């Protein structure tokens, strides 16, 4: 209220002086200069509220037992953190303490959770921030904030009578990107330089020993000076969980949820290949939401099965394709399913023509056991599945549609992968120096060969396609077991 009254009085005074014939230009200039100085002072962070008000906890409410699917990363972290816990031993053996641990891996794999658990494991002060908090348009602000961050960690440790503090910097690639990339000004470089200086100044006999942990999914963007020994001494890979890891994560996220007896978490874990921990948490949550919508007291297997589709594809859409489009979509998806079953019996999990996200319909496969190496036969089988939808349209309806554009794009990428891996007729080659016409000839040769195989197969399965399409149009969705039973009856 006082502020508004002051502004009103000041404005009235300026108007009175102007009407009286006084020159108010110097007064307006002084007001503008004072406002600009105030803005710069606030922007430069001359007050110390940035990190002093950051959430500080000396024992985060999480431990390594609460994190599933990352046993190797946890073991590597514990080994590094034992240097903090066993301070006397490392002094006797003359071991230099670790100064930094970098967590790398895809988004949603639990890097922040691991940092919080590390603070609890070492009974350390925990200070979390993001790399973007250090970047400003004014020179010197970022460096000042880095100094303030380390000083806050030491002061808080002494205040709470702790002998160690853990600083966690999320998305450090924003702060620690390669120097020289931003030519407009050197604010980024100054901020990174200050971080390097602060990490070099960490000593084993400090009153409060500071450990820096950081996370990124773009380790290739980091400046090499950050990654050398003596700064970030350990790089811990936090990767997507395997099937056993996904099962552990599902059990953790479902432990506070009422589950029906028919739920098979092992089957759900098998069908969620490439899901991160965040995806699995969302899956368990969406399953509970679906159960609530139906008024169920417990989460049933079908709820989690439906939640997989929702996490992967998105919510069901209200739009309804025309009858002719639905028929074409059904033919397309049945083509995918038939070739998938031919390649790997029992692989089809769900077949639906219900629009979700960007897809008008889809066929979901049951993933194979986690595999990291693929043969040419495997890659060609994937190409056949991708081509099958469009070729089924051609066999049954006489022409193709634009609905296969994404399938073709993936098929071409897979064919290019065969060339890059040295499994094509060209042998081991460098794709970057390969003549475009030769590359085109080899890629199209791979595609056409698989098209011929798929078209011959689908022509023989014409009756099966018609029967499954008829059922799919009536029910909109069938599971893999229903699909396989129909294949046996018709064939």
HSE on the CB side for 204, CA within 13 Å?
17
Tell me the CA distances in angstroms from 124 to 94, 118, 162, 417, one per residue in order: 23, 8, 7, 47
Q: What angle is formed at CA 27 by the lines to CA 25 and CA 30, rounded to 5 degrees? A: 110
CA gap 145, 194 in Å, rounded: 9
pTM: 0.73
CA gap 215, 457 in Å, rounded: 49
pLDDT tens for 99-154 read: 889 999 898 888 989 998 988 888 888 888 888 777 765 556 778 888 888 888 88
Q: Determine the pLDDT at residue 281.
A: 92
Q: Determine the pLDDT at residue 43.
A: 47
pLDDT tens for 361-370 read: 888 887 776 6
Q: Determine the pLDDT at residue 50.
A: 42
Q: Determine the pLDDT at residue 176.
A: 80
Cβ–Cβ under 8 Å, residues 254 and 284: yes
User: Burial of 296 by CB count in 10 Å (0-12 exposed, 13-18 middle, 19+ buried)?
Assistant: middle
pLDDT tens for 285-309 read: 999 999 999 999 999 988 998 888 8
Closest by CA to 441, choosing from 425, 461, 422, is 425
At residue 462 the predicted structure's pLDDT band, cuts being 50, 70 and 90, is very high
Strand partners, 83: none
Tabulate helix, strand, coil % of the chain (nearest 5).
60, 10, 30
Q: What is the mean pLDDT of residues 67-88?
A: 83
Q: Determine the pLDDT at residue 369.
A: 65
- Strand-pair category, 164-170 with 125-130: parallel
The residue to which tokens 């966690």 are assigned: 168
Q: Determine the pLDDT at residue 29.
A: 64
Q: For residue 380, is pLDDT > 70?
A: yes
The rounded radius of gyration (Å) of the Cα atoms in the chain is 31
Is 368 an annotated catalytic residue?
Answer: no
To the nearest whole number, what is the mean pLDDT of the chain?
82
Q: Give the torsion through C-alpha atoms of 291, 295, 297, 299, to 10 deg.
A: -10
At residue 71 the predicted structure's pLDDT band, cuts being 50, 70 and 90, is confident
CA gap 175, 142 in Å, rounded: 9
Q: What are phi and psi of 147, to 5 degrees?
A: -60, -45
Q: What are phi and psi of 9, to 5 degrees?
A: -65, -45
Strand arrangement, sheet containing 362-365: 362-365, 348-352, 477-479
- Among 187-191, 376-380, 400-404, which is the least confidently predicted range? 187-191
At residue 14 the predicted structure's pLDDT band, cuts being 50, 70 and 90, is low
The residue to which tokens 């205040």 are assigned: 159
Structure tokens, 135? 């970047």
Cβ–Cβ under 8 Å, residues 361 and 330: yes
CA gap 40, 318 in Å, rounded: 50
If one compares 481 and 320, the residue with the highest pLDDT of the two is: 481
Structure tokens, 420? 């890059």
CA gap 81, 77 in Å, rounded: 6
Cα 304 to chain centroid distance, Å, stands at: 21
Which residue among the candidates 248, 300, 333, 394 is catalytic per the annotation?
Answer: 333
Closest by CA to 110, choosing from 211, 213, 215, is 215
How large a percentage of the chain has pLDDT more than 70? 82
Cβ–Cβ under 8 Å, residues 149 and 53: no
Q: Determine the pLDDT at residue 373.
A: 81
pLDDT tens for 305-340 read: 888 888 887 777 666 778 888 899 999 999 999 999
Q: Determine the pLDDT at residue 365.
A: 83
- Among 35-49, 99-113, 254-268, which is the least confidently predicted range? 35-49
CA gap 106, 34 in Å, rounded: 47
Q: Determine the pLDDT at residue 323.
A: 84
If one compares 2 and 68, the residue with the highest pLDDT of the two is: 68
Q: For residue 382, is pLDDT > 50?
A: yes
If one compares 370 and 86, the residue with the highest pLDDT of the two is: 86
CA gap 286, 310 in Å, rounded: 8
For residue 102, the surrounding DSSP H or E stretch is strand 100-104
pLDDT tens for 198-257 read: 888 877 677 888 889 999 988 888 888 888 888 888 889 998 898 889 999 999 999 889
Cβ–Cβ under 8 Å, residues 117 and 63: yes
pLDDT tens for 345-361 read: 888 888 888 887 677 88
DSSP 181: S
Cβ–Cβ under 8 Å, residues 384 and 449: no
Structure tokens, 10? 């000041």
Q: For residue 182, is pLDDT > 70?
A: no
CA gap 416, 410 in Å, rounded: 10
Q: What is the mean pLDDT of residues 458-474?
A: 91
Structure tokens, 204? 């084993």
CA gap 138, 44 in Å, rounded: 7
CA gap 351, 485 in Å, rounded: 14
If one compares 149 and 58, the residue with the highest pLDDT of the two is: 149
At residue 53 the predicted structure's pLDDT band, cuts being 50, 70 and 90, is very low
Q: Determine the pLDDT at residue 443.
A: 93
Q: Determine the pLDDT at residue 272.
A: 86
Q: For residue 456, is pLDDT > 90?
A: yes
Q: Determine the pLDDT at residue 187.
A: 61
CA gap 315, 336 in Å, rounded: 22
The residue to which tokens 């950051």 are assigned: 54
């Amino acid at each position: 209220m006082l502020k508004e009254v002051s502004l009103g009085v000041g404005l009235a005074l300026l108007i009175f002086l102007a009407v009286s014939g006084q020159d108010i230009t110097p007064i307006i200039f002084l007001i503008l200069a004072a406002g600009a100085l105030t803005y710069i002072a606030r922007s430069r962070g001359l007050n110390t509220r940035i990190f002093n008000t950051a959430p500080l906890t000396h024992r985060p409410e999480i431990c390594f037992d609460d994190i599933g699917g990352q046993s190797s990363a946890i073991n590597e972290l514990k080994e590094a953190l034992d240097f903090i816990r066993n301070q006397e031993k490392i002094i006797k053996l003359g071991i230099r303490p670790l100064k930094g641990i970098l967590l790398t891996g895809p988004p949603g794999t639990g890097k922040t959770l691991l940092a919080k658990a590390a603070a609890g494991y070492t009974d350390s002060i925990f200070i979390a921030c993001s790399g973007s908090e250090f970047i400003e348009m004014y020179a010197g602000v970022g460096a000042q904030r880095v100094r303030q961050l380390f000083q806050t960690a030491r002061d808080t440790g002494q205040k709470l009578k702790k002998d160690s503090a853990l600083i966690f910097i999320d998305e450090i690639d924003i702060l620690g990107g390669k120097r020289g990339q931003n030519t407009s000004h050197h604010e980024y470089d100054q901020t990174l330089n200050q971080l390097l200086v602060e990490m070099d100044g960490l000593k084993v006999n400090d009153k409060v020993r500071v450990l820096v942990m950081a996370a990124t999914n773009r380790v290739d963007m980091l400046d090499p000076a950050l990654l050398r020994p003596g700064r970030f001494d350990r790089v811990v890979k936090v990767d997507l969980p395997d099937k056993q890891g996904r099962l552990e994560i599902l059990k953790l996220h479902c432990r506070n949820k009422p589950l029906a007896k028919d739920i098979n978490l092992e089957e759900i874990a098998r069908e969620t290949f490439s899901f991160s921990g965040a995806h699995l948490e969302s899956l368990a949550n969406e399953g509970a939401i679906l159960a609530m919508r139906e008024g169920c007291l417990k989460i049933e297997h079908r709820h989690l099965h439906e939640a997989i589709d929702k996490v992967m594809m998105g919510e069901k859409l209200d739009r309804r394709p025309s009858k002719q489009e639905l028929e074409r979509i059904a033919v397309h998806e049945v083509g995918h399913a038939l070739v998938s079953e031919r390649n790997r019996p029992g692989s089809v999990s769900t077949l639906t023509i219900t629009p979700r996200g960007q897809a008008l319909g889809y066929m979901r496969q049951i993933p194979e056991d986690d595999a990291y190496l693929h043969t040419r036969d495997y890659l060609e089988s994937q190409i056949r599945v991708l081509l099958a939808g469009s070729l089924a349209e051609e066999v049954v309806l006489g022409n193709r549609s634009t609905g296969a554009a994404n399938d073709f794009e993936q098929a071409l990428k897979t064919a290019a992968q065969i060339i890059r891996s040295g499994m094509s007729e060209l042998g081991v080659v460098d794709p970057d120096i390969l003549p475009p016409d030769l590359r085109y000839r080899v890629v199209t040769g791979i595609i056409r060969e698989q098209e011929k195989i798929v078209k011959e197969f689908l022509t023989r399965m014409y009756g099966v396609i018609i029967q499954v399409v008829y059922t799919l149009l009536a029910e909109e969705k069938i599971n893999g077991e229903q699909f396989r039973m129909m294949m046996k009856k018709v064939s």
